Chains A and B, each alone.
Chain A
């Protein structure tokens, strides 16, 4: 068993970056995730593993540092919160276009605009529908506990390098600020420069002797060439959709209704399941772990089996609910419940919404 600690989600994420063998973290402070860079600066991972940590001048600079570092085959990561992630979108689009692996973490806060610093899930569209320009997708993982803030970091790096793509981890202020028991995984050694050169022949880390130079670019001026490049990206996204759907079912076997939720909403909905079951209502929870690729297939299965309805529980005006509706395609009832602007819904409210919108309605 690994080391047991009581940590904030943000701290667990930072520690996991070191343990995952990350080569570099580049970030700019913003509440509610500043603990990530604070932890790293205090921990001095350059002494522990040789990992580079740099406070950049902006999120724009951070994401472009990921472009540089990831483009050389190193494991690089940044984290921010909603407004900062908005600033990064051009860079993320370039990373997707140039097929550069990296990990970007969004500890979501309430918006739009400066909004507030309370937990929110209103960046779902931005995360999974392409926040930046162009036809691209980002594998997106949504941790729902401090443990997963740690565990998902190496998973994200694996996905990033397996598919040569930026990977998003979408958390929120609640998971970031909360402390829970976390079992830290054993450190994974950083790749040596020689290993990187060997494993990632595409990376621009100095032209091989006698070989061809490599280029990191997202520019293809000829539309036919760019079309080909896009088809290649789409094939990759199809592959990811086939292989990388992640979800968890709780109390779903005998359920008449399902809550669908991710991240902190799924924690709250779990409590609502308990409250509902005490009242004799058979409801379960489908916890979405990969926001993209989305668990459409399992939703389809439950629909086929005759589930009476889905309630999407999100701290937003209803974003993920659109993906549930797409999967259900009108065959059963799909409703949404969520509080906005950083207000966290209570387990009781969620249950009430189920009773009113699905059972009663």
Chain B
């Protein structure tokens, strides 16, 4: 195959990839290497591919992704810490034909907002909940999260998470899968292109069902890194995540079409 010249590469017909127009041009505020950016992008790509740019309302959390509304180019609301599922509940009930999603971290979704999470899922709100589990409070400087692994060091578990002192890491995703209101519960990651593609397919499936009006909550966990909070390089953090977090937070579908997957 003949090599393409630069002139030819930039021709529109040779385009192989383009940033979705549903991501703004604003520079992401995330640390280089952080998974939040990829998770944002694939979510917005799905909205664009489904043609729902003008019918989508997203809810940003309090956490590192508090500024998600700066980057996601759709109508957005910035909720108070932990309450995105309640905010999303009201919007979806008042605008049943719109597409509604929440985007939350583990502190937001599984600590301060546990009640809102469980009850939105239990009511089977027809929303898509995207949950970034990085096992730490990134925004406030690396404190322990409900999902922090046993033995993991954070600024509030400086000697490692000790069950006697801090309790167990919370598998909120397995927990919500038990609730009759959830329709689709799945766990993914975005640390490799292949993983990101799979995650995107899951997100698309979740939104398609919402658009089709199939009742039930879609809950997508993305196990992600926080290289800054974990004090690692991005690559090390991804490796550490695969080695240490995936065994405890196994990747894959947990509940599909309202049925738990037999393991």
Contact = CB atoms under 8 A, between A and B. Distances in A.
B55 interface: yes
Nearest to B59: A68
A76 B69 CA distance: 23
Contacts of A26: 90
B69 A215 contact: yes
Nearest to A75: B94
Interface in B112-139: 115-116, 118-119
Interface in A76-112: 76, 90-91, 94, 98
B54 interface: yes
B93 A54 contact: yes
Interface in B34-75: 53-57, 59-60, 66-67, 69, 73-75
Interface in A190-205: 193, 204-205
A69 B90 contact: yes
A24 B89 CA distance: 11
A358 interface: no
A65 B102 CA distance: 13
Nearest to A95: B80
A90 B88 CA distance: 18
A236 interface: no
Contact of A206 (B56, B60, B80, B118): B56
A196 B118 CA distance: 31
Interface in B63-101: 66-67, 69, 73-80, 83, 86-91, 93-95, 98
Contact of B91 (A68, A94, A98, A214): A68
B97 to A, nearest CB: 8
A61 B74 contact: no
A64 B116 contact: yes
Contacts of A216: 76-78
A69 B93 CA distance: 9
Nearest to A26: B90
Nearest to B92: A68
B120 to A, nearest CB: 9
Interface in B146-184: none
17 contacts: A57-B119, A60-B83, A60-B115, A64-B90, A65-B86, A67-B79, A68-B87, A68-B89, A69-B91, A69-B93, A94-B80, A205-B95, A206-B75, A208-B54, A213-B75, A215-B78, A216-B78
Task: Tell me which of A54, A94, A206, A208 has the highest count of chain B C-beta atoms within 10 A of its own C-beta.
Answer: A206
B56 to A, nearest CB: 7
